[in-house]
Each structure stands twice: as C-alpha cells, then as structure tokens.
Structure 1
Amino acid sequence: MKLVQPILVVLFMNSGIWCQDQEYLTRLEYFYGCPKECQCPGRSSNALHCDSRHLSVMPLVPSRILYAYLQNNLIDGISDNSFKNGTQLKWVNLNKNKITNSNIPKGIFKKMENLLYLFLDDNSLEKVPSPLPASLEQLRLARNKISSIPEGTFSNLAKLTLLDLQGNRLNDFVIQPNTFKGLKTLLQLNLAQNGLTAMPEQIPVSTLQLYLDKNSIKEIPTNYFSSLPKLSFVRLNHNEISSSGLPDTIFNVSSILDLQLSYNQLTSVPLIHFRLQHLHLDHNQIKKINGPQICPLPVSNIYQKPIGENQPQLRYLRLDGNEIKPPIPIELMMCFRLLSAIVI
C-alpha cells in the first residue's frame, strides 16, 4: 500500500485572502504594502506614520494611503517613485526635514490631484515649489530659505485658504502685483518675519487674516485697506511704523476687529473704527492719551446714548511699555464702556 504524504492547506478565512488572483494581490498590497521603516496602524488604516524615525531617504507611499506623516526626519529629497502610487493622498506632512528644491522632481506635487494639505515647514527650500495641484487648500512653507516665488505659482490655486510663508527671505522685490493672482478664496496670509520694508501689493480681496510681524515696514499707504473688505485681523507687531507713517484714517475700517501694532515707533494712539474689538499698542513711544481725540464717536454722544451696536466695541486695550502715566482719562473709559481689560 502506497503511503500518501498529507498536504497542509491553510485557508485565511478570517482575513479574506482566499479569493481570486486580482483581489488576492490587492489584499496583499493592503496588508503588506506598508514600508518596513514606517507604520500603518489598524486593519483599515489609510494613514502612513513615518515621523521621527531618522529617515534620510523618502519611503515609497502605498496606493491606499490618504494621510502621510513624514515630519521630523533627515529627508533631503523626493524621488520620482516616492509618490508614484500616492494618487489618493489628501494630506502630506514633510515638516522638519532637509528638503531642497533641487531634490524635488518638477511637477511631482501637481500629480496629486486630491491633495488638500501640503506641509513643508522647516526645510531648506529656496523658492516656492511649483507647479502645485489645483485641489490644494493649505500650503505651509514657514522657516525655509525662500527668496523667490516663480511667476504664476499660485495662478491655479483657487481653493487655497491658507498660505504660510513666515520666517523666509522674501523682500519687496519678490512680492509683485501679480504674485498672489489666482488666490480667490484665501483667508489667511502669513508673511511675518521676512525682509519686507513696505506693505505687500494686491493682497487677495478674500483675505481675513494678514500677518506681517517682524518685518521692517515703516509706513502704510493711504487707503491700503479699502481694497480688503473682509480683513478682520491685522498683525504688524515688531516693525518700524511711526505715527507719521500712518494716514489719519488708515484704520477707520469697519471690517477690522483685531489690530496689533506692538513694538513699533508710534507716539500717539491712531484713530480707529467703532467696531474694533482688540487693540495692541504696547511697547511704542506713546506719552499720553487724549480720550476725546481717540474716541471713534463724539464724546457727547457717548454720554447721551445707551450702550448698543453703534457704540464703540473695544473690549481689550494694551498700552503697557509706553510712557503713559496714570490716571486713565475718564473720557477714555466713558467712550469704551465695553472694555473688559486695559493694560497700562
């Protein structure tokens, strides 16, 4: 009698791998496609975690991945194959690496037609990478070495709502009238800590928040804010703005709710709109406050009318770090009766 060796057959019934060839390959990629130096936690995970792993080479991103976390590594470039299968990516975080423009294949980001968030803070970029996908909603490029923005870089980014360029090497010659053309839905523009000496030209009309801290801006052109009807937050801290560099009614704008002018060279409190709610004037050279002059409405009206929508809305005022001595003028308190905090 001939003995037949038993054949061991293992069926992966629970994992569902026992199936047709194409589906079998798809599931193999699903379970085993995660790069060995990274982690794809969870059976149904669409996230790739490669952050803080001392990587110097960009791993290959599997096709199922929607969120790629690659920050805090030593990656200095991106290969043509890095995102070859990452066509579904929505979120790419490459913050705190060593990426340079010369090591980014041209058009590699544009191929990601579903990309919404691209984070490249704290790298070694010398110019804004382009072309970029039209789907992009947030672009973060803070603290690089950017001194150039190629013409037309933002022309197709109609969905971009946030552009962060703080901490770079931008100057007045880089920011041209057409630099931000195409940004039709931009809400936040951050140009803080660059080399600007003048207010940037032709900011998108949709802008709500404009950050220009830590530049060398000396003055603001007349009617600068009249072309920005939605602007609510303006930060100009740590510049070189003097009272003579401010037109009389420059901040008499109904949309501005939060105005920050700390650490400048102001010698007087600028006129404001009655809708302004937060005003930062600390660490300037202001010596005194004239209540009737800075009140956005006639003081006689303030005494006669009850608090309402047409009354000054200022709730927070910082004046410390100046040369102002108490007491606070009674007219100031009567004008701004909604003040919950004043720092002198």
Structure 2
Amino acid sequence: MKITNLKTAIIYESKLTRRNWLFYLFIVGGMYILGTLIPGVFILGIGWISWQDIALTSSLPLRGIYFLSLFQSLIITFLVCDIQRNRKKAETREVLLTRPISNGQTLLGEAIGILIPFLTIDIIFMTISMIINIFIPNSPVSLWINLFYLFTYTVPTLIFITSLSILANKLVKHPIFSWLILMAFLYLEYNYAATAFYGILDFQGRLLPNSFSTLIGFMDLSSFLLHRGVFLLLGISFLYFSVLLMKRLPGIAGRQRYLAVLAMLFLAFSLCLGFIYIEKYQSRLENRITCRKAFLKYTETPKTRVITHDITYRPEGNTFSATSRMQIQNQKKRKWTNSCYSLTRG
C-alpha cells in the first residue's frame, strides 16, 4: 500500500510538472543551448570549431551540462514556487490529501515527480550532445564520461536545487517572497560563491577540476566527488527538513522524531565532507606557502652554474642505485662557502 501511494503521488506530480508551461520553456531552452553552444546542430551553428572545444573527451559534455544546469536551476525555482502558489487553490493535488499517505511520501512523491521529467530531458540532451560529438572530426567520445557527469554533476545539482526550493517554500509561506529569496541566492551563488572557500559554496561546482582526458584521466577526482557528495547529502537533508515543516498531520504519531534525526545525520555527513574538502585545499595552500618561504630564504644565496651533470643508474633486482657527478662553476668575483644551484640548466 505504501509503495502504491508513493507511486500515485509520483505519477500525479510528474504529470502536473510536464503540463506546466515552465517545463516547456525548459525544453525550448535546452534546444537553444544545443543549437548555439554545440557546433553543427543547426545551420546557423555550423562554422569553425576551435581546438579547445573538442580537445578533451569532456570538452563538449561539460560545456553543454554547465549551461543546461544553470538554466535548469532557474526554471526549477520558478516551478516549485508556482506549485506552491497553485496549492492555495483547489486543484488536482487535492485528491492526494484524501488518501492514507504520509507526509514523507507526499513530499518525496512531489520531489521525485519534479525530478523525473527534468532528468529525462537531461538524458535526452546528453544523448543528442554525444551523437553530435561523434560526427565532429577528431573529437574523442566516451559514453562512460557522459554517464559519469550525469550522475555526479547533474543529479546532485538537480536534487539540491529542488530540495532547497521546496524548503524555502515551506519556511516562507508566500510564494513571491520565497521566489525572491531563491533568486537572491542564485545571484549571490553565481557571482561570489565560486571562489569562496575553494568553491565549496558553489552547488554547481563551476571551477572544480572536473575535466577528463584520455591520457591522464581526471585531474582531481577525489575533490570533485567530495564536492558533489556535499550537495547531494545536503539536498537529501533539506528534503527531510521540509517534511518536518509540513502542516498536515502525520500518518503515524512519533515519526517526526525519526525524520529529524535523519535530517540531522545527512546534514552532519554533508558538513563532514565539506570539512574534508576544505582541509585538502588548505593543506595544499600550506605546502605552497612553505615552498614560497624556502624560495625567498635562498634568494640572496650566491648562485652557481652547473657545467656538467652525469648520473650513473644501476638496476639491482627490485632496487636500484645511482651515482651523481656534477661540476659547478662560481660565476661571481667573490669567494663563498655555501651556495645553491638548480638542476635544470639555463
């Protein structure tokens, strides 16, 4: 019965999302992104293709996903606020309130019902993008890279912005005010969050090292996955908090406590991942500062020039030994006892 009720809620919400004019606007926007950002879709888009557009396997997928996710976030905030505005009137969703369905199932059905149509368009968008990528000469293509970006880039962003929009509408009762708050959040996030705290506040991860090359793979996969995991867990926690804010009586007494515990757990896990992410970049920053101090320390030390440098390498089973013989020259007119030199000539 519980699965049937959840399925019914998902079907209702999915149908109402597909019928909303904002969803059709999103489809038109996706077609426009394909036509203008990916070469060769429309006749007007055919032209000279720069090397950086196709150099890496991830070049075309990342460029399309970036603009699609940006536009998708804007549409979802409008859509969720529009849904809350329609709830003030008697409409199709009223039939769900008469069923023995819990608050969690109601809100989960609403979230999944919104996610499914948008995720379907995302998959179609990436499929068309990959097909276009195949027909571009000298452009590497990988199905697995497209799937990887779908589950690690698109899905966390979609879950986070949907849950955040639902939570904002639960906290602020009037849809227009919740929409203004969400618009202000998107504006600040787009203009300032990308560089703050190494990008941990940017839910889209625009400046993350997320490129993929067939030669070296991902540049920093662990940091990328940590960042995406933060917003995936944060989105799930927002969804649990939204259930707690529903005014409808719960189906089972006492369940609110368990929902509060789950919400706090997901929030805590998200904060832990964020701390690990920041700590990694902080450690790298400290290493750079140490190297800079060492360089400045030896700046005033007399420099010598390496004339010859011979290295004799001897393999010895599982180990090896090496002997280095170097001839250096003092190019200054004064004597010195300590000096530093560079192994790279020039």
- Give the TM-score range, shorter chain: under 0.3
Larger RCO: Structure 1 or Structure 2 (Cα < 8 Å, ≥ 6 residues apart)?
2
| TM-score normalised by L of structure 2 | 0.24
Q: Which has the higher helix share?
A: 2
